[in-house]
Each structure stands twice: as structure tokens, then as C-alpha cells.
Amino acid sequence: MITVYADNREIRVGIPTLGMSPEEVISFLKWLEVDASARHGELVDGVATDLSEQIKSVWWEENASHLIAAHGRPVKQV
């Protein structure tokens, strides 16, 4: 289960990593970083979209089996 805590200074998100390798966690975090940079206008739109889709695709390829095993059913890629 994803947990979220927010106050007036920060937002903390907890994402279960059971069954994920350190490389898979890093890949996911890189995707979040690209997405956040794009939202703050630090990347050109086309480049940001391409990078985000590329990273998301790789992350899903690496993690789909872990998510299916953990939840016992296929998950929908977002």
C-alpha cells in the first residue's frame, strides 16, 4: 500500500519495495525525477515526454512480474 504524509513543508510518499532490486528502485526514482523536472519547466516538453515514457516502459518491464506476484493479479500500466 502506498502511504502519503503531507504538512506545510513537505510531502512524504512510502512505496513498498518488497521484491524489488536496488536497481529497480533507482529506475523508478529516476522516472519520478524526470517527471518532477518536467512539471517545473526544467525540461523541454518533447524531451521530457520521451524520457518519461522510456523510463516508465523500462520500469514496468522490470517490475510487472513483482507486482503481479505481490498482488496475485495483473496490474494495469499507467
Residue 64 confidence (pLDDT)? 76
Q: Are 55 and 31 in contact (CB under 8 A)?
A: yes
- What does pLDDT average to in each consecutive run of 10 residues of the chain (78 residues)? 89 86 85 75 68 77 75 57
pTM: 0.44
10, three cell numbers: 513537505
How many domains does the chain contain in total? 1
> Is 27 within a domain?
yes
Residue 7 confidence (pLDDT)? 92
> Is 56 within a domain?
yes
> Is 3 within a domain?
no
Domain of 63, in residue numbers: 17-71
Residue type, 34: V
> Is 76 within a domain?
no
> Is 47 within a domain?
yes
Residue 2 confidence (pLDDT)? 81
Over residues 29-41, the pLDDT tens digits come to 888 887 777 677 7
**Residue 67 CB coordination number (10 Å):** 16
> Is 11 within a domain?
no
Residue 52 confidence (pLDDT)? 73
